């Protein structure tokens, strides 16, 4: 009854907990592990994070860490998943009632600002999504997240432009969303002033596209 990594040791794709904590005690310990990892990532980056340090800071043994996480990346992945869940909820509610161009401008602009500020303030998010491209599991999580977010945008666009080709809307929304992530990542990697300009330029560009036709 041992759910090993199964058939293909393909690496990279699967990153779910090796074993779900069922007892109260262990659930708390897993929380401590994630908190420890989070603080270490904030301080040094996930690459420099050492499993030994995570265990020590969480007050557990190395073995316990591996009881619940199959490997190091799984810890980062677990943190990433929480962020995506939170942000999806936020985005969904922000776009829920948008039904005209002006409201879209408003809501979109606010969402971008929130995202930008979040990245400026949260070293953990910054670090996690940096590694996105290199780690297959993370890349897939981000793509799935981006598609989900794009769907919210598609719903709005369908209301604003009922006649438009659904596939085109889908493509536009997905692209705009990914561009936004790229724009914010770029913005935080240059100085603040230029970053602000880049984010503003992105907003204009994206809205022009979203409201086009």
Question: For a second copy, which is the closer residue by CB, 111 or 169?
Answer: 169
32 binds a second copy (CB under 8 A): no
Residues 126/119, Cβ–Cβ less than 8 Å? yes
Token code pair at residue 12:
């990279």
- Given 14, 179, 207, 211, the residue binding a second copy (CB under 8 A): 179
Distance CA 77, CA 34 (A): 10
Question: For a second copy, which is the closer residue by CB, 152 or 202?
Answer: 202
Instruction: For the chain, give the number of residues.
Output: 213
Choices 29-37, 73-81, 112-120, 188-196; region in contact with a second copy by CB under 8 A: 188-196
Residues 70/5, Cβ–Cβ less than 8 Å? yes
Residue linked to tokens 């100085």: 191
Question: For a second copy, which is the closer residue by CB, 139 or 161?
Answer: 139
149 binds a second copy (CB under 8 A): no
104 binds DNA (CB under 7 A): no
212 binds DNA (CB under 7 A): no
Q: How far is the CB of 208 from a second copy (least distance, A)?
A: 6
Burial of 95 (0-12, 13-18, 19+ CB in 10 A): buried
Q: How far is the CB of 197 from a second copy (least distance, A)?
A: 5
Q: Return all residues near 100 (Cβ < 8 A) that are at least 6 apart.
A: 160
């Amino acid at each position: 009854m041992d759910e090993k990594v199964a058939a293909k040791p393909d690496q990279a794709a699967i990153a779910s907990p090796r074993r779900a904590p069922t007892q109260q005690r262990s659930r708390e310990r897993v929380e401590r592990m994630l908190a420890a990892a989070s603080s270490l990532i904030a301080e040094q980056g996930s690459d420099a994070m050492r499993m030994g340090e995570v265990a020590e800071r969480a007050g557990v043994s190395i073995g316990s860490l591996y009881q619940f996480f199959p490997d190091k990346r799984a810890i980062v992945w677990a943190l990433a998943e929480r962020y995506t869940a939170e942000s999806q909820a936020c985005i969904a509610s922000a776009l829920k009632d948008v039904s005209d161009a002006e409201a879209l401008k408003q809501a979109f602009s606010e969402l971008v600002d929130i995202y930008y500020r979040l990245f400026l303030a949260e070293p953990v998010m910054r670090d996690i999504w940096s590694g996105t491209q290199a780690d297959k599991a993370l890349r897939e999580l981000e793509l799935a997240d981006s598609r989900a977010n794009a769907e919210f945008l598609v719903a709005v666009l369908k209301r604003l432009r009922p006649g438009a080709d659904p596939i085109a809307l889908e493509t536009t929304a997905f692209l705009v969303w990914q561009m936004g992530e790229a724009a914010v990542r770029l913005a935080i990697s240059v100085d603040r002033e230029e970053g602000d300009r880049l984010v503003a330029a992105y907003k204009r560009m994206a809205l022009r596209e979203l409201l086009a036709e």
